Structure 1
Amino acid sequence: MKRAAALAALVVAALALFLAPRPPELSTATTGDPALAELVRDAAGQEEHRGLSVTLIEDGRVRHAGVGDTGGPDPRPVDQNTSYELGSIAKPLTGMLLADLADEGLSPDTPVRDLLPRVPFSDPAVASATLAELSSHRAGIPSVRLTPVGFLRSYLYVFAGENPYGTAGPQSMLDDAAAVSAGKRGEVSYSNLGVALLGQALAEHAGTGYEDLLRTRLLAPLGMDATVVVQPGEPLPAGRAHGEGANGQSMEPWLDHGHAGAGGSVWSTSADVARLVQAVMAGSAPGADAARPRFDADEGERIGYGWFTTRYGDKEITWHNGGTGGFGTYAGFDRASGRGVVVMGNTGARVDGVGLRLLGAEAPDGGGPEIRPLIFALAFPFAGLGLLYAAFRGSGLDRVSVVSRVLWAALFLALGHTAGGWDVVPPFVWALGAGVLGAGLGAALTRWPGLPVSAKPVKWHTWLSPALAVALLAGLAVVLVV
């Protein structure tokens, strides 16, 4: 039995190495300014990035560099014109729209209900939230509306890289805003829903759609022609970067255009966002006053209309970042030095540290990895230990329990592959877990001829455990393939 278990463990572990998670890594591909590219690689360190597009503004000079590639079926070197999912950097754009419209007479203290009178807000506190409160995350509105469907989508995102927002349009977003209740107002509490609501309110005030308002008042004047809000049925930008998760799986774009004001379905390039940063630093951008700090946030941070301002030692950085399932972005600048930076990456890894290092600021400690992905990586792959122990212990083992244990261990192994923290845990750990399952199966098969069908009288519930495992495995397979 020991020999069979050891042989099965070696064979299965060896085969599993070919299927083990493949965390993203920067390739040797380089475009643009070689010196800047080297700085970017140094700043990125050993973090799991696939392709980084960076634009640095310094002493009035703009430099571009790309390191790594786009990923996807036809990987190509990234450059300053490679399109990435922008994420929450769209929030300060919406704040700038507010500041620009305020210059024409729209009061930031206007309650949102005045601009959206047809929305049946269930909570008067949400209806009375001001435009300034929405833009600075001080309205007490939750980040998202929690529903059973939304809860399911959040887990599909974790396990299969699905878009947790779906293709929610403006009406769906307004329905969510009408249904939620506000918490404590006046304190900064980050809210995607609140800024999406602001974007729609400003568009309604202007008598147009959000994407048209953004294009007319901000993007066109700045020459940001590569920044787009992708509408339903429209193709994604040509030559785009493809998002990846920590295990190398493809991540679905977040095409929730109803949340465009908060970053949903917005794509851009580092060169385009650099035009924004330059103009905000110079004070020439429409609504540039949005970057002026107005309200206290956490731990010494201050916030304007969407833009955060944080002190790092002797440097004061005005910034915003973005993060979706497969993309990380950062835009920031130091007014005192006149230096600005835009960093775009096509994995879920944050790029804030890269941007801060290029700005000459000391990036703060990230606080360590999340616990849930570590559990998926360290515990789930080793569910086969139960079968291995039972096979050697012998008592109570039967054919139904062997099949059930194998199926459940395979399910947990699959879940560990898709949701594990493979940016922290070495991927060979997954193959080791597969080897443990192989050892358990090998040991159990040596005992198989002498095992009863069931150690207890066979009843309908005897088959419940293996049947449930088969159903869950089939469901996971459908989610991953479809």
Structure 2
Amino acid sequence: MPDTTPQSALLGALAAALIGAFAAHFLAPDPRLGPTETGDPALAADLAAVVGEGRGMSSVAVARVEGDAVRYAAAGDTTGSAADGSPEDGRDALFELGSVTKTFTGHLLADGVARGELELDAPLATYLPELADTPAGAATLEQLASHTSGLPRVPGELVRFRGALGTGDPYRDWTVDRVVDAARTAPTTAVGEENYSNFGVALLGIAEARAAGVQTWSQLAEERLFQPLGMDDTTVVEAGESEPDGLVWPRTANGRAVQPWTGDGFAAAGSATRTTTGDLARFATAVLDGTVPGAGAVEPVVTGPDHGRGLGWSVDTSQTPVLLSHGGATGGTSTHLVLQPDADRAVVVLAATDADVGPIARHLLLDPTQSVHFGPNAAGVASVLAAILVLLLVLLSLNQLPSRVGALAAVVMAAAAGVALTLLGPWQWALRWAIGFLLGALVGAAWLAVLRAPSAPWLPQRRPYQPVVALALAAAGSAMLGWLLV
């Protein structure tokens, strides 16, 4: 029979915590770029100055366009994903692109207008007649492209998935027909005011394809944008298709691998694009020199005190010269494209992280002496605080263990907190051992609760409902966590 006195319980939990700290120091995820920059020496040096160790990023590839010169650099695990024989500067490493795709959709709109297929002030229902007499159908193409249609960010059915912490693909099951069906009942609010909407741009892309007489938006983009610009590595992955060779797998800032996003319904909004810094540099160069199809997309159609919106572009007028930009984010990839047309310069950043790389792109363009550091996100901080609270509750139950049901509740709580901390904990922090210490303490405390349970009654004589309520709450919390993470 093991010694289960309160003192031995605390010592056992402490021993498990120390083992967890030791294991985490050597075995836990360590998402950072490290000193592995390759490519153009000057750009690689600027990248190192901006990101340092790059904590919170598993890989990054960048390009800088200055007139006719294009330079590339990369850090982390990108070159190993590129095709055999490709340059070791990350230019051929494939990443998810995310919402930077919206700039493609904006240029296809401007190109469609130039071809006489589309009109900026025409209602969406002109091209999708099944949306006649609906708020979505009344939105103009210009409003859809400039995020002033009043449509919600995503359909209501997508809100739960989009807010989850899981590793899945929220857009996989959204076909073109489903997106259009959802638009029939979609409300609009604050029409004319800026309200970023993936939903609206997805509908715009569907209208562009219909007007051009092609099956899908991806086909339109391939024929009118990717092929003419030589963007041979840029593709759109539909649901169920295999990922192209060389994809840098998306990972969160704490190193957790997540699924790439796919699907054709939201393709025009950026749900499924894969590209490289090489291809985006070609696109940026064409935008800068005016040879891109639909070159007028960069002109603001909505203006504000210090910013405006073109067709798919954000226009920052607080800078001199003016900046054009767009960022993108999927579950585990962050991207940014920023241009300074009057200076004939641009920067592309593609990275495996869910942290915003927009500041990295701006610093590489404007001032590479400025550094960027990613802190833990809200989920990471919440997981640490929740694990500490649960540990205190479990240790309290060890000190005054009233029943076997109470012990079971403690074990369930500790297990749920351990899973949340393992998956969401800020492993990109330098003190990974501290997270391991907390995990080890949870494991040790739960195991000691199991050891002490046989000597306790199933339910206490006084207030027998308390451990039952505790177990119900622990089970409900675990189920909620599973719903968010799976």
For residues 471 and 371 of structure 1, do their structure 2 counterparts lie closer, same or farther at Cα, with a shift above 3 Å needed?
Answer: closer
Pick aligned residue for 1:296 from 286, 300, 303: 303
Of 99-108 and 193-202, more deviation after overlay is shown by 99-108
- Superposition map of 1:429-444 within 5 A: 429-438=434-443, 440-441=445-446, 444=449
Q: Deviations over 1:358-415 (max 9, x none)?
A: 11159899998654442223333541211212332x2x62121012112112102212
- With over 3 angstroms needed to count, the CA separation of the structure-2 counterparts of 1:16 and 1:414, relative to structure 1, is farther
Amino acid at match of 1:403: L
Change (3 A) 1:286 1:243: same
Deviations 1:436-481 (A, max 9, x none): 434544664675454222104999997676478568768977997x
Q: Are 1:24 and 1:48, in contact at CA under 8 Å, matched by a contact in 2? A: yes
* Alignment of structure 1 residues 68-83 onto 2, 5 Å: 68-70=76-78, 79-83=90-94
**What residue in structure 1 maps to residue 394 of structure 2?**
387
After superposition, the Cα gap between the structure-2 partners of 1:58 and 1:64, relative to the gap in structure 1 and judged at 3 Å, is: same
Match of residue 412 from structure 1: 417
Following TM superposition, by how much is the alpha carbon of 1:72 offset from its aligned partner in structure 2, in angstroms? Answer: 9.9
2:106 aligns to what?
95
Q: Deviations over 1:301-350 (max 9, x none)?
A: 11100111114553421111111111011111112221111110011122
2:129 matches 1:117: yes
Given candidates 109, 126, 150, the residue that maps to 1:140 is 150
Using the TM superposition, give the Cα deviation of residue 49 of structure 1 relative to its aligned residue in structure 2, in angstroms. 1.3
SS where residue 325 of structure 2 aligns?
A: strand
| 1:237 counterpart = 2:244 | yes
Q: Which residue of 1 aligns with 2:184?
A: 178
The question of whether the paired residues in 2 share the 8 Å contact of 1:71 and 1:241 is answered with no
For the 8 Å contact 1:381–1:430, the answer to whether it is kept is: no
Per-residue deviation, 1:12: 4.0
Query: Do the aligned partners of 1:227 and 1:272 also contact (CA within 8 Å) in 2?
Result: yes
Amino acid at match of 1:351: V
TM-score of the superposition, structure 2-length normalised?
A: 0.87
Contact 2:12 2:448 in 1 (8 A): no
Helix, strand or coil for the counterpart of 2:342?
coil
Partners of 2:56 and 2:254 within 8 A in 1:
no
For 1:244-323, what aligned pairs fall within 5 Å after superposition? 244-297=251-304, 300-311=306-317, 313-323=319-329
2:138 alignment counterpart: 128
Instruction: Give the structure-1-normalised TM-score.
Output: 0.88
Give unmatched runs, 5+ long, in structure 1: none
What does the per-residue CA deviation read over 1:140-189, in whole Å, with 9 as the maximum and x for residues that have no partner?
Answer: 00011123xx344235x41x311222332211211222221001111111
- 1:135 is matched by which residue type in structure 2? A
Q: Which residue matches 2:198?
A: 192
**Following superposition of structure 1 onto structure 2, how do residues 145-164 of structure 1 map, counting pairs within 5 Å?**
145-147=155-157, 150-154=158-162, 157-158=164-165, 160-164=166-170
Deviations along 1:271-315, whole A, 9 cap, x unmatched? 101111111111111111101122125x62111001111145534
2:16 to 11, 19, 29: 11
SS at match of 2:274: strand
Instruction: Describe the SS at the equivalent of 1:65.
Output: strand
Q: Distance in 2 between matches of 1:200 and 1:438?
A: 51
Distance 1:360 1:249, change over 3 A: same
Q: Which residue of 2 aligns with 1:403?
A: 408
Greater mean deviation of Cα atoms: 305-314 or 435-444: 435-444
Unaligned runs of 5+ residues in structure 2 are: 1-5
**Mean alpha-carbon deviation: is it higher for 410-419 or for 463-472?**
463-472
Q: Which residue of 2 aligns with 1:355?
A: 361
SS of residue paired to 1:329: strand
Separation in structure 2 between the aligned mates of residue 71 and residue 90 of structure 1, nearest angstrom? 24
SS of structure 2 residue aligned to 1:196: helix
The percent of aligned pairs where both chains have the same amino acid is 31
Return the match for 1:57 from 55, 61, 65.
65
- Which range moved further: 177-186 or 26-35? 26-35
* CA 476–442 in structure 1, closer or farther in 2 if over 3 Å, else same: closer
Residues 228, 266 of structure 1: 8 Å contact kept: yes
C-alpha displacement at 1:92, in angstroms? 1.0
